[in-house]
Amino acid sequence: MTTVDERSKDSVGRFAGRSAAGLALVAGCGVAFGVLLMLVRFKWGPLYHADHEAAEWFNGLVAPHHPLVKVLQAVSTLGGRPVLIWLVGIPALGLLIRRQPRLALYLIVTGVGGLILDPSLKALVGRLRPVVDVPISHAPGNSFPSGHSLGSFVAYGALLLVFLPAMRPRWRKPAIALVALIVLLIGLSRIALGVHFVSDVLGGWLLGAAWLGVSAYAFRLWRRERGRPVPPLTEGLEPEAGDEIKPAPDEERLLDHPRSSVAELLVAWVLTFGALYAFGMYVSFHAKGTVFAWLDDVVPHWFADRRTDTLTQVSWWWSKAGDTHAITLVALIFCPIALAAWRRWRPVLFVVLAMFGELSLFLASAKVVQRPRPPVENLDGHMPTSSFPSGHIAATICLYTAMALLVMGRTDRWWRWIFVALAVIMPIGVATSRMYRGMHHPTDFMGAILLAALWITALWRIVKPNADVTAGNHPSIHTEQVDDLDDELARAAHPG
């Protein structure tokens, strides 16, 4: 009993020591932010001049270099609200699927807190954004504190604390260093783009550190009050959840034969490209007098003669559903959820290869075929690529067909038919809208079908995304009817 008591006292002592040090650090960040806020609010002279001089210096350094501006804008996007909402929301949903509600709640509360602090403090301070000689970027709203700096510190830091237990010990320090580098680069990009002062970024970091520290300390207190051990933060918030939150702990290897699979994928890509090239050149330049030429002449004019303001607006939304941003967004939502639910990388690899292959095949075939757009008014204006095949339609078919194939093979629930319906409705809607808007011929639609059919078929045979299911990695009991459960159990016990 004495030994147990001594261990308990030692555990409490270590927690108290770490808590005191952590609280001191959090309090220091909070005090530093408060002091900086007051200096900014009352426009303290030395800080005011230093901020404006730094803004001018960065503007003179960055503005003449357009490629550097593009790189900085891309880095800045990593701290934007859409990216941060995805970074917090999708992992939180994945944690709920993995039955880790405490960690999911921690992510949500911490992320929402950061979103609330940013606009409220900006309204309180009311600081205008920098005015530089050569504006290279624009941001709405007030300047202090930097929302990108605050949000990135909170979001990336919270993700690190949650998922550290899923990493091997030797990868934890590099992961911490990588997150610190990302947060640093996001803050520097906001200064270099001329949308924030140096003190705005420092304020965002200090406030982010304070809020992240408060939320982590509250989580650790919660564990302590329930009699759970409280490990150092370098081990994450819940080390015992490490196996459950690993992306794919049940998968031994990604592909059965990686080298031969890569070779087969390259061959499939070349053959698909050859088929697209042959069909594209035929319908574009050698199909006069055929049904293909008749369709390509009649259908675009038929749609153009029936345009109305309402239909044009509807077609714009349908067309947007097949563009790069929408397709990427759907894939970025589906893949993490699929990984959380199925604990396999193969389905994710299947979707990623489907989209990458579609994009490369579309760009290559459009470049060599060089087909002009239909001879009607093109409602979307000039496009950088040629007409054959339709990238919007091909991407839509590939994505939604890939998702339907995965879902149909992995569940017998009624909602699997929703994915089948989407695999039919979405391509038809996008194709109709693209032809209505005068952007594609009917044979461009056929080319997209050819691309998707050949590429998805090849991927299905090579990657085998549902191989674990066909090998027996699925429940023996499928029924959802309690009255039938006893009979099914009896049949399972006596298979003969």
pLDDT for 98: 86
Which contacts qualify for 92-101: CB closer than 8 Å, 24 or more apart? 93/336, 93/337, 93/340, 94/336, 94/337, 94/339, 94/340, 95/162, 95/245, 95/340, 97/337, 97/340, 97/341, 98/244, 98/245, 98/340, 99/244, 100/238, 100/241, 100/244, 100/245
Q: What is the pLDDT of residue 92?
A: 92
What whole-number distance in Å separates Cα of residue 427 and Cα of residue 424?
6
Please tell me the pTM assigned to this model. 0.80
Selection from 343, 341, 349, 351 nearest residue 468 by Cα: 343
pLDDT given at position 118: 82
Using an 8 Å Cβ cutoff, are 82 and 332 in contact?
no
Give the pLDDT of residue 186. 93
Dihedral sign of CA atoms 427, 428, 434, 437 in order: negative
| Rounded average pLDDT per 10-residue block, the chain, 496 residues | 44 47 70 82 85 85 85 90 90 89 90 85 81 79 86 92 87 90 92 88 90 86 77 78 78 78 94 94 90 92 91 92 91 91 90 94 92 89 85 94 93 90 94 92 94 95 86 46 47 47
Domains of the chain, by residue range, sit at 11-245, 258-470
